[in-house]
A and B are shown apart, each in its own frame.
Chain A
Amino acid sequence: MNAAQKNTFDAPSPSLSAGLGALLRRDLLLAYRHRGEIANPLVFFLMVITMIPLGISPESAVLGSLAPGMLWVVALLATLLSLDSLFRSDYDDGSLEQILISPHPLYLIVLVKVFVHWLVTGLPLALLSPVLGVMLYLPEAGYLPLFLSLLMGTGVLSLVGAIGAALTVALRKGGLLLSLIIMPLYVPVLIFGASVVRSAIEGFPIAGELAVLGAFLAMAVVLAPMAAAGALRISVNG
């Protein structure tokens, strides 16, 4: 082998931004191609909230007091519904193996995938929530806090959910297990998220509770992709 031949194999180190950009583009494109499936959690959110006045009571006093908790619980369940697909299709068609052997940090790759997941589920849920708040007679003071708390809260839900999705991706029927793993971790987010809205309605300052949600988010951004990356390696190894 002479020097000229050797040079052809001096592969340039792949650029991290190009790699993550390609993944982001691909996942967004896939989300767009599967937009029917992507809309599922949103439709679920819409349907459940529409049913509540029919099933419980159409009275504004009753609905108004239920609204903060209801909106939060249903948004949480809608996110949970969508989690299973986070790594599933990549696992099934072998793309996940390719992702794992790419020379990029898995932490950032998971972060990109979770970001896309949040962009197509969490963000639309947060944007839609004030409209559904109107349907449930949510007092006016609650709209902005509801939106803000869901904006941050759904981020935490997606990030923490990614750990469960990564742990169960190799199991044929991981759906129930995923819920069992993730539900306890969702409880604090639900408590603080719903209480932000309730405090705002009752006229208390909400900065403190929002800050707690923000702290959850910061912690989840730092820790959850790491756990999910480890779980993915275990799932693919097995």
Chain B
Amino acid sequence: MTHPNAPTPLLELRALSCERDERCLFAGLHMTVEAGDIVQIAGANGSGKTSLIRLLTGLSQDYQGDILWQGELLSHRRLDYLNHLLYLGHLPGVKKALSPRENLAWFGGMSHGHPQIKVDQALSQVGLKGFEDVPCYSLSAGQLRRVALARLYLTPARIWILDEPFTAIDKQGAERLEALLSEHAAGGGVVILTTHQALNITGVKQINLSDFQVDESYYQARDGFIGEGSL
């Protein structure tokens, strides 16, 4: 399928399958992600979107198949991959006892270190100007989410993996976020996200996990027909 001279894709999934609690979420998932791609992972609730996201961040290693980062196994180049990764989970990772500025200073220190002035700019970009020093427990759910999203304005990371980034974000904020995502992709970055919202961005790659679900024969092959009676 790939041209011999084609550049190695940044991220490649080969025959990826994931099981949770004896149930196969998806199997045989193939996907290549090149620089400049925005990949939307779609699928019904419980179809394994978050599980796939967690495999891609390396938080979970319960999978069969291969995940390749720049042509090499992810498990061999984990550290290099993590240097390029920014992940926003469905929990914002924001400490409520700290102010937005303190939270971002921590994120910055843990990842790439960004100067104070950029932190303030990022906060005003996400509409939190004037809230820099307010403790986060007095912010609304949407504002907490925006504190986490402010990291997108700060990070030099290339791979953005976002789990439901539009949750609790108002319409205007969602438009801003879409613009930011397409800008990142246009600059050669990669965005992998899950969302139920229709994205207003052109050129989004869709991966529907429902297409990779397994039928009864998968379990029969796995259990070697032994469990047939009890299934």
Question: Which residues of A are interface residues toward B (Cβ below 8 A)?
Answer: 1, 5-6, 8-9, 11-15, 18-19, 21-23, 25-26, 29-30, 33-34, 89, 92-95, 97-104, 236-237
* B109 A21 Cβ-Cβ under 8 A: yes
A34 to B57, CA, bound (A): 31
Closest residue to B108 on the A side, CB-wise? A22
Complex: chain B residue closest to A103, CB-CB: B82
Majority SS of interface residues in chain B? loop
- Give B90-118 interface residues, CB cut-off 8 Å to A: 90-98, 102, 105-113
B91 touches A94 (CB 8 A): yes
B22 to chain A, nearest CB (A): 14
Number of interface residues of B (CB under 8 A): 41
The listed residue (B84, B87, B102) touching A9 by CB distance below 8 A is B84
Residue contact B109 to A23, C-beta cutoff 8 Å: yes
Which of B23-31, B59-67, B174-182 is the interface stretch?
B59-67
CA distance A199 to B95 in the complex (A): 46
Kindly state the separation between the CA atoms of A6 and B95 in the bound complex, as whole angstroms. 33
Residues 183 to 204 of chain B near chain A (Cβ within 8 Å):
187-189
Distance A25 CA – B108 CA, assembled complex (angstroms): 12
A166 to B142, CA, bound (A): 30
Asked if B43 is at the interface of the complex by the 8 Å CB criterion, the answer is no
The 9 A-B pairs with the shortest beta carbon distances in the complex, nearest first, are A22-B109, A94-B91, A94-B93, A33-B97, A103-B82, A9-B158, A1-B188, A26-B106, A11-B156
Q: Is B79 an interface residue (CB 8 A)?
A: yes
Given contacts A1-B188, A94-B94, A97-B59, 20 further A-B contacts (CB under 8 A): A5-B187, A9-B188, A11-B112, A22-B105, A22-B110, A23-B110, A25-B109, A26-B98, A26-B102, A26-B106, A29-B102, A30-B95, A93-B95, A94-B93, A95-B95, A98-B93, A98-B110, A102-B111, A236-B60, A237-B61
| A interface, over-half SS | helix
6 A-B pairs with CB atoms under 8 Å apart are A11-B84, A19-B110, A22-B109, A30-B95, A99-B110, A237-B62
**B166 to A: closest C-beta gap in Å:** 17
A1 and B189 CA atoms in complex are apart in Å by 10
Question: B85 within 8 Å of A by Cβ?
Answer: yes
Is the C-beta of B89 less than 8 angstroms from some C-beta in chain A? yes
A125 vs chain B, min Cβ distance (A): 23
Known: A22-B109, A26-B98, A29-B98. A11 touches B92 (CB 8 A): no
Contact (Cβ within 8 A) B102 A14: no
**Neighbour of A11 across the interface among B58, B87, B157, CB < 8 A:** B157
Which residue from B82, B95, B98, B113 sits with its C-beta under 8 Å from A101?
Answer: B82
Residues of chain B with a CB closer than 8 A to A18's CB: 109, 113
Chain A residue nearest to B186 in the complex (CB): A5
Q: For residue B91, which residues in chain A have a CB less than 8 angstroms away from its CB?
A: 92-94, 97
- Of all chain B residues, the one with the shortest Cβ separation from A24 is B109
Which residues from B are CB-within-8-Å of A9?
A: 84, 156-158, 188-189
User: Are A93 and B92 in contact, CB atoms less than 8 angstroms apart?
Assistant: yes
Q: Report if B36 contacts A (CB, 8 A).
A: yes
Nearest-neighbour CB distance to chain B for A172, whole angstroms, equals 16
* Residues in chain B near residue A25, CB distance under 8 A: 105-106, 109
Is the beta-carbon distance between A11 and B83 smaller than 8 angstroms? Answer: yes
